[in-house]
């Protein structure tokens, strides 16, 4: 097992859902948002060095135990994590707060470990207090497309009021759900049209796996129904 595999395994154990179900999957290598305090101002840097990097939200057709069940059936990703980029010395009774400023409609976010909703998910507060340890929250969405969220990170008191002696930092992180391929685009030219209909009719009654859109072993009216349902659709080519 290489070092990257060991790191992903360790993260999965850290983020675990419980012994009775599958462990939620990060979706790939950990990607940390490094939080530092320099000259009285919070700074956030991407450990990867690429602030435009996009994580893919994926579904795994798994069932998770306990509170992690909020991820059942979801497209999700846990690669982004908050991590101190160095020692942060704060005044007594203050802490690091993260405030959601804006996000794409459809994002839901759950805290690592507790799986409590955060950042306006299910009516949660837009403010979240980070405890300073490495934490990978879970980001979910349902529909294909591009998603992003912008946060302000600042020093605040015990109830989240900003401390005027410190400057805040801003960060935007991004995810995406790819458009699914159209099952009825038989010739993979990027559109479901009469060419695909002709191929399906030519294979009708047979066992052609390419025209067997529902993979039930026969090209029949069920496959024709799927094609009609997607007829005229623009699809990812290939």
pLDDT tens digits, 85-104: 999 999 999 999 999 999 99
| CATH code matching the domain that covers 180-238, chosen among 3.40.50.20, 3.40.50.2000, 1.10.1330.10, 3.20.20.120 | 1.10.1330.10
pTM of the model: 0.73
In eight-state DSSP terms, residue 179 is P
pLDDT value for 8: 42
Alpha-carbon distance of 202 to 171, in angstroms, equals 54
> What pLDDT does residue 238 have?
52
Alpha carbon distances (Å) from 105 to 7, 148, 193: 32, 9, 32
The per-residue pLDDT for 235 is 81
Angle at 63 between CA 59 and CA 65, to 5 degrees: 130
What is the average pLDDT score of the chain?
Answer: 89
pLDDT per position as a tens digit, 27-85: 999 999 999 999 999 999 999 889 999 999 999 888 999 999 999 989 999 999 999 99
pLDDT score of 2: 39
Which SS3 state, helix, strand or coil, does residue 102 take? strand
Quick check: 4 pLDDT over 70? Answer: no
Q: What is the pLDDT of residue 237?
A: 58
Spatial separation of the C-alpha atoms in residues 186 and 204, rounded to whole Å: 13
The domain limits of the chain are 3-177, 180-238
User: What is the reported pLDDT for 9?
Assistant: 41
**Residue 21: its pLDDT value, please?**
66
- pLDDT at 160 (0 to 100): 97
Structure confidence by residue, pLDDT tens digits, 118-167: 999 999 999 999 999 999 999 999 998 999 999 999 999 999 999 999 99
CB 193 within 8 A of CB 232: yes
Q: How many Å is the maximal CA-CA distance in the chain?
A: 76
User: Which carries the bigger pLDDT value, residue 234 or residue 53?
Assistant: 53
């Amino acid at each position: 097992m290489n070092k990257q595999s060991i790191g992903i395994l360790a993260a999965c154990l850290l983020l675990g859902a419980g012994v009775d179900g599958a462990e939620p999957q990060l979706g790939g290598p950990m990607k940390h948002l490094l939080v530092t305090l320099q000259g009285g101002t919070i700074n956030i840097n991407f450990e990867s060095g690429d602030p435009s990097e996009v994580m893919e939200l994926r579904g795994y057709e798994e069932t998770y135990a306990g509170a992690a069940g909020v991820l059942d059936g979801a497209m999700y990703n846990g690669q982004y994590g908050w991590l101190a980029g160095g020692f942060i010395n704060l005044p007594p009774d203050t802490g690091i707060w993260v405030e959601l400023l804006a996000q794409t409609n459809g994002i839901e976010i759950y805290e690592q470990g507790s799986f409590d909703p955060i950042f306006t998910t299910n009516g949660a507060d837009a403010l979240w207090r980070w405890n300073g340890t490495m934490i990978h929250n879970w980001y979910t969405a349902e529909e294909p497309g591009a998603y992003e969220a912008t946060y302000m990170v600042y020093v605040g008191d015990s109830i989240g009021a900003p401390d005027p002696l410190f400057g805040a930092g801003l960060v935007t992180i991004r995810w995406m759900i790819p458009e699914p391929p159209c099952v009825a685009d038989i010739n993979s030219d990027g559109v479901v049209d009469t060419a695909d209909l002709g191929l399906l009719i030519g294979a009708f009654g047979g066992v052609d796996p390419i025209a067997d859109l529902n993979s039930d072993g026969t090209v029949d009216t069920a496959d024709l129904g799927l094609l009609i349902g997607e007829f005229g659709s623009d699809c990812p080519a290939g």
